[in-house]
Structure 1
């Protein structure tokens, strides 16, 4: 199954979202900021993973390094270039992570480069 993931990264926790090729949400959960926890959550989707988005925030380095070392293709989102979808009624960590994964799936993600 072809899937796309995004990690909305914060100082003490992250929200991980995974969507399939049709945009259906197949996984969404708040997790601790620990590479082993994040990698364990992603493991069931590894074979079909097309890419993982991480927003370029003050603390993105460790998660990008861990994902790349595990063999994932990582996309660093440029938050200054991202606009919220106007149809979204509210924004929170869950919807932010899903929106990042959706932008990757739709090939409209504004990226920074690693």
Structure 2
């Protein structure tokens, strides 16, 4: 199983993918753009068991809502 963690900032996010042994498989700082995040996650999409978002910034909730909807609806 694979897991994704996203640290959401005002204009970018750090997106990490780890496995069930807590090994970091990939990590990248990306602009807060749903398309960029989905492209980055695409190699692991079928294996992702969950996505967790950490944020103290509330200015761009639509990006993460779009990610959740896209990952659930397109599966």
TM-score > 0.5 by shorter chain: yes
Tell me how large the CA RMSD over aligned residues is: 1.4
Instruction: Tell me the residue number matched to 1:8.
Output: 7
Give 1:46 deviation, angstroms: 0.5
Give 1:56 deviation, angstroms: 4.1
Instruction: Tell me the residue number matched to 1:71.
Output: 71
What 5-or-longer segments of structure 2 have no aligned partner? Answer: none
- Could you tell me the TM-score, scaled by structure 2's length? 0.84
CA distance in 1, matches of 2:45, 2:61: 21
Q: Deviations over 1:57-105 (max 9, x none)?
A: 3135213211122124xxxxxxxxxxxxxxxxxxxxxxxxxxxxxxxxx
CA distance in 2, matches of 1:61, 1:38: 14
CA distance in 2, matches of 1:19, 1:30: 15
Instruction: Tell me the residue number matched to 1:59.
Output: 59
Is contact 2:6–2:14 with CA below 8 Å preserved after alignment?
Answer: yes
Give 1:7 deviation, angstroms: 0.7
What 5-or-longer segments of structure 1 have no aligned partner? Answer: 73-114
Is contact 1:54–1:60 with CA below 8 Å preserved after alignment?
Answer: no
CA distance in 1, matches of 2:35, 2:16: 16
Aligned residues: 71
Is contact 1:14–1:30 with CA below 8 Å preserved after alignment?
Answer: yes
User: Which structure has greater strand proportion?
Assistant: 2
